[in-house]
């Protein structure tokens, strides 16, 4: 595929902030709308955009909204760096630069007729939420649909209301665990990988999608393999430093892969050898 780009490629499109929602003490969600029809972005679950804040900087953020609600874009971010902290100060009506969408996507189509196992840690739930929207919209096509979600503490649980409403459905199985909690917490405590043995799914005929801290993904994969899930049914989403998102800046290299264009979603066999090494 040859997509020739003009100098426009590194030029962000202007999007207006429609809504800012504080999700947890350190995460927030931006709902954005393109200022011109031409700059509308259609994405597939798992892809990301580069968000540019005037004069401050540009960062890669996964798309966490519903793909069918295009052209509205939803991005959930943790305020941890210069750009994300400044973005937290955005208000309705403010303008943001957006370019994208970039990267590979979750192979949802390959999950048709299979059980779906989604495993998320912390903000890793954000790039997986679009898959839940898509799957729920086409619920009949899939077997069991299971979300295993781990967060640090109960107040760090992302999209809590939405998780509660999904959990109230009889056709979705939502498991939540936290690393630590006060006595008032009645749910599970422990790492998310412990939920894998509890969840009922057809190990031979499932699609597992994982996003979270690298160490959590490694252990989640190990647990799935132990359960007997074939390794080519497991997908993970990687994070690396990115400046261009189009494979030219070199920052996101992961072995021979460019996380921005070969990923961020990888079939596990393709990254197996790299994941087990430090500082790749």
Partner 1 sequence: MERLEIHDLSALFSVLKQDGYQIIGPTVRESAIVCERIQSVDELPAGVTDIQRPASYRLAERHDNALFGHRLGPQSWKRYLYPPRLQLFQAARTEKGITISPPTNGGAGDLPKYAFVGVRPCELSAIGIQDMVFARGTYVDPHYSAVRARIIVIAVNCTDPGETCFCASMKTGPQTESGYDLALTEVISAGSHLFVAQSGSDVGKELLARLKAAPASAEEIQRAEDLLDRASEKMGRSVDTYRLPELLHANIDHPQWDELDERCLSCGNCTQVCPTCFCSTVEDVTNLDGTEAGRWRKWDSCFTLEFSYIHGGCVRATTKSRYRQWMTHKLASWVDQFGTFGCVGCGRCITWCPVGIDITEEARAIRAQSTLLSTSSKGEM
Write the secondary structure of the chain as one string of H (helix), E (strand) and C (coil): CCCCCCHHHHCCEEEEEEEEEEEECCEEEEEEEECCHHHCCCCCCCCEEEEEECCCEEEEEECCCCHHHCCCEEEEEECCCHHHHHHHCCCCCCEEEEEEEECCCCCHHHHCCCEEEEEEEHHHHHHHHHHHHHHHHCHHHCCCEEEEEEECCHHHCCCHHHHHHHHCCCCCEEEEEECCCCCCCCCEECCCHHHHCCCCCCCCCEEEEEECCHHHHHHHHHHHHHHCCCHHHEEEECCCCCCCCCCCCCCCEECCEECCCCCCEEEHHHHHHHHCCCCC
Question: What's the rounded Cα separation, in Å, for the pair 36 and 227?
Answer: 49
Stretch 55-84 residues interacting with partner 1 (CB under 8 A): 55-58, 78, 80-81
100 binds partner 1 (CB under 8 A): no
From candidates 17, 20, 40, 97, binder to partner 1 by CB under 8 A: 97
Stretch 32-51 residues interacting with partner 1 (CB under 8 A): 35
189 binds partner 1 (CB under 8 A): no
Cis peptide before 101 (omega within 30 of 0): yes
Q: Between residues 52 and 142, which has the closer beta carbon with respect to partner 1? A: 52
Instruction: Give the range of 7-15, 160-168, 188-196, 198-206 binding partner 1 by CB under 8 A.
Output: 7-15
* In the complex, least distance from residue 235 CB atom to partner 1, rounded to whole angstroms: 20
1 binds partner 1 (CB under 8 A): yes
From candidates 142, 149, 219, 258, binder to partner 1 by CB under 8 A: 258
Q: Are 236 and 135 in contact (CB under 8 A)?
A: no
Q: Between residues 90 and 136, which has the closer beta carbon with respect to partner 1? A: 90
Q: Are 179 and 216 in contact (CB under 8 A)?
A: no
From candidates 25, 187, 255, 269, binder to partner 1 by CB under 8 A: 255
Give which of 114, 108, 14, 120 is closest to 76, Cα–Cα.
120
246 binds partner 1 (CB under 8 A): yes
* In the complex, least distance from residue 249 CB atom to partner 1, rounded to whole angstroms: 5
* In the complex, least distance from residue 203 CB atom to partner 1, rounded to whole angstroms: 31
From candidates 107, 230, 247, 270, binder to partner 1 by CB under 8 A: 247
Q: Between residues 44 and 117, which has the closer beta carbon with respect to partner 1? A: 44
Number of residues that bind partner 1 (CB under 8 A): 46
4 binds partner 1 (CB under 8 A): yes
215 binds partner 1 (CB under 8 A): no
Q: Between residues 78 and 114, which has the closer beta carbon with respect to partner 1? A: 78
Q: Between residues 143 and 213, which has the closer beta carbon with respect to partner 1? A: 213
Site of interaction with partner 1 (CB under 8 A): 1-12, 14, 35, 52, 54-58, 78, 80-81, 95, 97, 213, 239-241, 243-244, 246-251, 253, 255-256, 258, 261, 277-280
């Amino acid at each position: 595929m040859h997509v020739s780009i003009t100098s426009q490629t590194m030029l962000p499109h202007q999007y207006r902030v429609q809504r800012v929602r504080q999700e947890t003490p350190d995460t927030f969600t931006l709902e954005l709308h393109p200022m011109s029809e031409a700059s509308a972005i259609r994405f597939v679950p798992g892809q990301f955009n580069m968000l540019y804040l005037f004069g401050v900087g540009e960062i890669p953020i996964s798309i966490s909204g519903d793909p069918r609600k295009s052209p509205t874009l939803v991005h959930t971010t943790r305020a941890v760096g210069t750009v994300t902290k400044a973005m937290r100060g955005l208000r309705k009506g403010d303008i943001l630069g957006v370019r994208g969408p970039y990267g590979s996507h979750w192979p949802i189509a390959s999950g048709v007729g299979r059980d779906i196992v989604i495993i998320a840690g912390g903000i890793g739930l954000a790039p997986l939420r679009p898959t839940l929207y898509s799957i729920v919209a086409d619920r009949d096509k899939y077997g069991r649909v299971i979300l295993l979600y781990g967060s640090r503490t109960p107040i760090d649980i992302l999209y809590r209301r939405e998780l509660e409403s999904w959990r109230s459905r009889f056709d979705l199985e939502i498991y939540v665990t936290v690393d630590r909690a006060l006595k008032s917490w009645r749910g599970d405590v422990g790492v998310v990988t412990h939920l894998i043995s509890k969840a009922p799914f057809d190990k031979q005929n499932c699609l597992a999608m994982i996003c979270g801290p690298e160490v959590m993904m490694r252990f989640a994969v190990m647990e799935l393999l132990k359960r007997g899930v074939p390794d080519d049914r497991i997908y993970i989403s990687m994070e690396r430093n990115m400046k261009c998102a189009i494979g030219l800046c070199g920052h996101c290299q992961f072995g021979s892969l460019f996380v921005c264009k070969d990923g961020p979603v990888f079939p596990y066999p393709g990254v197996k050898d790299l994941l087990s090494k430090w500082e790749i």
